[in-house]
Amino acid sequence: MIYRTDDVDHRTDIGTLAQVHELFLAKEKIQTMSIVCGLIEQNPSVIGYIKNTPNWDLQIHGFVHDNYSQETSRRIESDLVACLDVMDRVFQIKPTRWYLPWNGWVAGHGFDLVPRVAKIAKRYGVEVDYDCIYIGHFLAGQSGDPKFAKDAQKTTVYFHLWDQKDVDLVPRLLEF
């Protein structure tokens, strides 16, 4: 299972981030960060915490939080290159996945255009990933069914640090 913290950016609260990450460390699990790269450098406390603690999988969410399937190819490529530059400069890593913003829009507002975004990203060695489920929906659907638990192993579940309801659900999520 991929446990994805969504929308990490310049507004991310370091206290909440550290509180949640301590849960991951206690369970010896990896926390995937979906980073909005455009202004992340304005949050040195978050950057410092990430750089000085283990168990991270740092990935991109976009340079800004836009629906990239609706953007021009030039804009998609420009923002992707900018993200890769920020991630290299700030974290000394090359991300391998791009978790597209606006998870809920995909089916109704651009699903058929996602392959165009993926084609551009692939040229840079980045896989576009939009197959995910919101933490509340995932936990509401789990029933203790062994088949569900097996399917959970290949699931990406996302949550937000800016939503206390999501933060409160993380301990339950980490049981999977």
Question: Please, how many CA atoms are within 13 Å of residue 16, restricted to the half-sphere of its CB?
Answer: 16
> What per-residue confidence (pLDDT) applies to 147?
47
Given a contact cutoff of 8 angstroms between Cβ atoms, the answer to whether 132 and 156 are in contact is: yes
Please state, in angstroms and rounded to a whole number, the distance separating the CA atoms of residues 18 and 53: 10
Interval 86-104: pLDDT, tens: 999 999 999 999 998 876 5
Pick 128 or 93 by higher pLDDT. Answer: 93
Chain-wide mean pLDDT for the chain?
A: 89
Over range 113-141, report the average pLDDT.
Answer: 87
Q: Which two tokens stand for residue 130?
A: 């939009």
Q: Which two tokens stand for residue 132?
A: 């995910």
**Structural domain spans, the chain:** 2-173
Sequence-distant (6+) residues with CB within 8 A of 88 are 94
Given a contact cutoff of 8 angstroms between Cβ atoms, the answer to whether 176 and 1 are in contact is: yes
Sequence-distant (6+) residues with CB within 8 A of 35 are 8, 9, 58, 59, 60, 61, 83, 87
Interval 36-88: pLDDT, tens: 999 999 999 999 999 999 999 999 999 999 888 888 999 999 999 999 999 99
Residue written as token pair 């165009």: 116
Q: Which two tokens stand for residue 28?
A: 């010896």
> What per-residue confidence (pLDDT) applies to 166?
97
The dotted CATH code for 2-173 is 3.20.20.370
Please state, in angstroms and rounded to a whole number, the distance separating the CA atoms of residues 21 and 140: 23
The structure's pTM equals 0.89
For residue 150, which amino acid is it? K
